[in-house]
Amino acid sequence: MEIIESIEAMRDRSRELRREGKTISLVPTMGYLHEGHLFLMRDGRSRADCLVISIYVNPTQFSPGEDFERYPRDFERDVALAKQAGVDIIFCPTSNDMYPEGYLTYVNVEKMTAELCGLTRPNYFRGVTTICAKLFNIVAPHLAIFGKKDFQQYQVIRQMVRDLNMELEIVGLPTVRENGGLAMSSRNVYLAAQERESALSLYAALKLADDMYRQGERDARVILAEARKIIEERPYTVIDYAKIVSAQSMKEVTRIEGETVFALAVKVGATRLIDNHVFGDSLEI
């Protein structure tokens, strides 16, 4: 497994691979790898000749006061896990190289980024699309793989790739869950034991919504009222949003028709967790 820090070296390596006719898959990460990432990597491994992962905690997607400084980092552990998962190259650039002095260019997807997480995290999507555009330019992958746990992020990146005619495929994979249904996230490490108990209410709320949908309920307000109760009755929880939205526009809907998503962001203690469920998809653990 190669570890590449320099942008030029990564570019050269990709050019060489492409010249040899090899396909490249990319799994972008911010490190502190967990089973959710490993699932994406195993998939990436099976789809291309060369599997690249990026490890970079991207400062531009954090707002002032968020957890950029204390975001969990453990590079040595990540290297060991990546090796086991069959990663060929870890690309781990520095901020001096990614955002050198005088840096002025950002990529912004409009409208859909103003909904859901965009309401409380104003810089988030601009930072994500900018870093992903940069990674796609540097690594030049044939495909890039994202988890659908961050459903809005996944849709925003697809939109950017479509709109900017980027030449790669975006693959979205289902959420990997711990026992009890908690969606895997690097931020789960922040949760104290009792908070972790309360965090299970996110999955319980999605499950209830899914059950109601399967029994024929299509009124979003009826489902939301029941689902919210499950979260609100647990200690330490504060709902940031609980919305049923169109999977395309991310705008709230009153009836479940077409591709529709139940999207949740909940603060559990000091930790903000997100989760979602596309009605009609499987929600098994």
CA distance 237 to 129: 30
Q: Which range, of 16-24, 124-132, 174-182, 203-211, touches ligand PAF by CB under 6 A?
A: 124-132
Residues 183-212: x where in contact with ligand PAF by CB under 6 A, - otherwise, as a string: ------------------------------
Contact 129, 135 (CB under 8 A): no
- β-bridge partners, 245: 252, 261
**Which of residues 78, 88, 115, 150 is near ligand PAF by CB under 6 A?**
150
**Which of residues 58, 113, 159, 198 is near ligand PAF by CB under 6 A?**
58
Could you say whether residue 30 binds ligand PAF (CB under 6 A)? Answer: yes
Of 55, 56, 46, 54, give the one whose Cα is nearest residue 23: 46
Q: Which amino acid is at 46?
A: S
Run of H or E including 90 = strand 89-91
Could you say whether residue 133 binds ligand PAF (CB under 6 A)? Answer: no
DSSP state of 230: H
Contact 231, 239 (CB under 8 A): yes
Q: Which range, of 24-32, 234-242, 249-257, 276-284, touches ligand PAF by CB under 6 A?
A: 24-32
**Which of residues 93 and 181 has its CB atom nearest to ligand PAF in the complex?**
93
Q: How far is the CB of 57 from ligand PAF (least distance, A)?
A: 8
Sign of CA dihedral 75, 186, 41, 106: negative
Could you say whether residue 29 binds ligand PAF (CB under 6 A)? Answer: yes
Could you say whether residue 143 binds ligand PAF (CB under 6 A)? Answer: no
Could you say whether residue 159 binds ligand PAF (CB under 6 A)? Answer: no
Sign of CA dihedral 164, 166, 169, 175: negative
Could you say whether residue 129 binds ligand PAF (CB under 6 A)? Answer: no
**Which of residues 25, 26, 28, 112 is near ligand PAF by CB under 6 A?**
28
Run of H or E including 146 = strand 143-147
Positions that interact with ligand PAF (CB under 6 A): 28-30, 58, 61, 128, 131-132, 150, 153
